[in-house]
Amino acid sequence: MKNYQLFIGGKWVSSQSGDSYEVINPATREAVWRVAYGDDRDAELAVEAAADAFPKWSQTPAKERAAILMKMYQLMLERKEELARTITLEMGKPIREARGEVQSAADYVQWNAEEAKRTYGETIPSSFANKRLLTIRQAVGPVAAITPWNFPLSMVTRKLAPALAAGCTAVLKPATQTPGCAAMLFEIAQEAGLPDGVANLVVGSSGKIGKALLGNHKIRKITFTGSTEVGKLLLRDAADQVKRVSMELGGHAPFIVFADADLEKAVEGAIANKFRNTGQTCICANRIYVQSPVVEEFTALFKAKVENMVVGNGLEETTDIGPVIDEQGLLKVHEHVEDALSKGARLISGGEKCQPGAGTFYKPTILANVSEGMMISTEETFGPVAPIYSFESEEEVIAKANQTNYGLAAYFYTRDLGRAIRVYEALEYGMVGCNDPVPTTVQGPFGGWKESGMGREGGPHGLDDFLETKFVSIQI
C-alpha cells in the first residue's frame, strides 16, 4: 500500500505525533493508502515555513512564478491518468469524470499562470499640480486553504494556483477522505521547481489544524470550500484577526424547465447536471421545476434515460454512477427519499441502496409530486436523487427558486429570448446556466450569493481575492 506524508518547508515528513490513518475506497471499502495524520503542531510548522518563504516568493518576478505554474500544468497533463485513478480510488467518481476533473484542475493552473502577469495598478489624476497618485497591487501574504473531498484536485488548484500566481505562499489542508491527489500535486510542484516553503501540505485533525491556521497572525487570508455550516465556523474565527476570507459553500440549485423548452435537451441537461459525481456537487440540481403542461412528458423521458444508467465501481469505463462517499452520506440520501415519500412524493425510479460491490451505492432515483416542507426541498441531499416539482407561471417559479438561503447556481430551459433575459436577471444566484447544464469553466467567475459564500474563483478577476491594493501619493 502506498504511503503519503505531510509536505512542510520543501520536505516530506511524518506528523509530529507519528500518527497515520488509512484512506478507504468507497467502492470496495478497502484501504488504498496510508497517510500521516497531523494536528496543530504540524500546522504551526507549516505556517512558519510559508511565512519564511513569503518575502522572496512575493518579490519573485511574475514571469518566473508563471513559468513554474506552467511547468506544473504540463506535468499534471503528463500524469493525467495516474491523477484520475487516484481521484476515483479515493472518492469513487467515474474515471471518465475524474479525467475531466484533472483537465479542469490543470486549466486553473494554466489560467492563473497567465493572469499572474496582469496584476496591473493604476495612475489617478490628482487635483494638485505637485502630486502624483497611483495604486499598486501586492500579495495578501501567507494563505490557508481548506478543501472538500468532492472535487479533490480541482478545488485544490482553484486555490493554490491563484495564491501562488499572486505571490502568496500557502498552507493546504485537504479533506481527510482525499489527501492522495493533493499529495501528488505537491510532488508535481516540487518537480516543477516550486521553492521550499512556498506551498505546504498538512493532513489531519480538521478542528486542531483549523484553529492553528486561523489563530496565527502570520496567516493573512483563509480560502475555504466546503459546507456552509463549517464555513460559518471559520468566518467567526477569522473575524478575531479580521483575516481576509473567500468562502465557496453549499448550494441548493433550482433547475427550471419551461413548457416552451426543447424537452429532449432539457432532459439530457438534467441528467448531466443532476447525476454528475453521483449527485455530490455543490452546483447540481436540487429542485427540478417543470411547467405543468410538460411535466408528465418530461418525467417519462427522464425516467427512460435514468434507468439506463450504470451504477458501479468508478474504475470501470462504463460506469455512470459511482458510490456515495461514505455510510453517513448514504444514510442522508436515503433519509431524504423516505422523508419525501412519507410526505406525499411519488417514487418514479430507484429509491434504494444497491450492491454492485461492497461499497456505498445508491440507485439513481426520481421523485415526483415533491413539495415544500420536505427535507429535500431545503437541504443539500448530496446523492443521486432528482426531485421533480410542477409549476404554473414564470412569477411563481422565480419566487420558489429564490426561496432559499443558498445562492450558488441556477439553471433554466426556454426558447423565449425575452423570458430568458427576465429569468436570468431575477434569479438570486452567483451562476446561471441558460439552456446550459454545465456552465463551469475557468474563464467564468465561480462563486455564490447569500449563504453560498463570498469571493470568486477563476475568471478575469480570479487573482483579486489574493491581492491587496496599496494607494501611494507622491509630492514632487
Residues marked active site are found at: 248, 282
Identity of the residue, 350 or 430, whose beta carbon is nearer to ligand NAP in the bound complex? 430
Q: By three-state DSSP, how is residue 203 classified? A: coil
Does residue 92 bind ligand NAP (CB under 6 A)? Answer: no
Closest C-alpha among 62, 175, 138, 153 to residue 107: 153
* CA 246-252-253 angle, 5° bins: 105
Query: 254 to 293, contacts with ligand NAP by CB under 6 A?
Result: 282
Identity of the residue, 57 or 446, whose beta carbon is nearer to ligand NAP in the bound complex? 446
CB of 50 to ligand NAP, least distance (A): 17
Q: By three-state DSSP, how is residue 412 classified? A: strand
Identity of the residue, 88 or 390, whose beta carbon is nearer to ligand NAP in the bound complex? 88
Q: How far is CA 222 from CA 111, 137, 243, 279, in A?
A: 21, 19, 7, 27
Segment interacting with ligand NAP (CB under 6 A) among 81-89, 162-170, 206-214, 295-303: 206-214
Radius of gyration of the chain (CA): 23
Site string for ligand NAP, 393-422 (x = CB under 6 A): ---------------x--------------
Alpha-carbon span 262 to 268, nearest angstrom: 10
Segment interacting with ligand NAP (CB under 6 A) among 82-90, 141-149, 436-444, 468-476: 141-149
* Dihedrals phi, psi of 319, to nearest 5 degrees: -70, 130
Residue 324: all three cell numbers together: 456515495
Q: How many residues belong to the site for ligand NAP (CB under 6 A)?
A: 28
Does residue 147 bind ligand NAP (CB under 6 A)? Answer: yes
Does residue 381 bind ligand NAP (CB under 6 A)? Answer: no
- Around Cβ 208, how many Cβ atoms within 10 Å? 15
State which of residues 47, 53, 66, 146 lies at the interface with ligand NAP (CB under 6 A).
146
Closest C-alpha among 24, 42, 33, 25 to residue 183: 33
CB of 178 to ligand NAP, least distance (A): 8
**177 contacts 37 by C-beta, under 8 angstroms:** no
Q: Residue 222 pairs with which residues in a beta bridge?
A: 144, 245
Does residue 383 bind ligand NAP (CB under 6 A)? Answer: no
Closest C-alpha among 409, 79, 85, 424 to residue 274: 409
Does residue 226 bind ligand NAP (CB under 6 A)? Answer: yes
- The H-or-E segment that residue 211 falls in is helix 206-214
Closest C-alpha among 107, 134, 39 to residue 471: 134
CB of 109 to ligand NAP, least distance (A): 17
Identity of the residue, 240 or 317, whose beta carbon is nearer to ligand NAP in the bound complex? 240
Does residue 233 bind ligand NAP (CB under 6 A)? Answer: yes
Segment interacting with ligand NAP (CB under 6 A) among 62-70, 126-134, 205-213, 262-270: 205-213
Q: By three-state DSSP, how is residue 446 classified? A: strand
Does residue 251 bind ligand NAP (CB under 6 A)? Answer: yes
Alpha-carbon span 87 to 166, nearest angstrom: 27
Sequence letter at residue 425: E
Does residue 225 bind ligand NAP (CB under 6 A)? Answer: yes
Does residue 176 bind ligand NAP (CB under 6 A)? Answer: yes
Site string for ligand NAP, 304-343 (x = CB under 6 A): ----------------------------------------
CB of 210 to ligand NAP, least distance (A): 3
Q: How far is CA 87 from CA 33, 94, 174, 189, 274, in A?
A: 12, 9, 13, 18, 20
**372 contacts 252 by C-beta, under 8 angstroms:** no
Q: By three-state DSSP, how is residue 399 classified? A: helix
Identity of the residue, 167 or 430, whose beta carbon is nearer to ligand NAP in the bound complex? 430
Identity of the residue, 228 or 414, whose beta carbon is nearer to ligand NAP in the bound complex? 228
Does residue 101 bind ligand NAP (CB under 6 A)? Answer: no
Does residue 378 bind ligand NAP (CB under 6 A)? Answer: no
Identity of the residue, 233 or 434, whose beta carbon is nearer to ligand NAP in the bound complex? 233
Does residue 152 bind ligand NAP (CB under 6 A)? Answer: no
Does residue 212 bind ligand NAP (CB under 6 A)? Answer: no
Task: Give Cβ neighbours of residue 424 (< 8 Å, ≥ 6 apart).
Answer: 412, 432, 434
Sequence letter at residue 220: R
Query: 40 to 59, contacts with ligand NAP by CB under 6 A?
Result: none
Segment interacting with ligand NAP (CB under 6 A) among 2-10, 126-134, 140-148, 385-393: 140-148
Instruction: Give the interface with ligand NAP as residue ranges (CB under 6 A).
Output: 146-151, 155, 173-176, 206-207, 210, 225-227, 230, 233, 248-251, 282, 380, 408, 448, 453
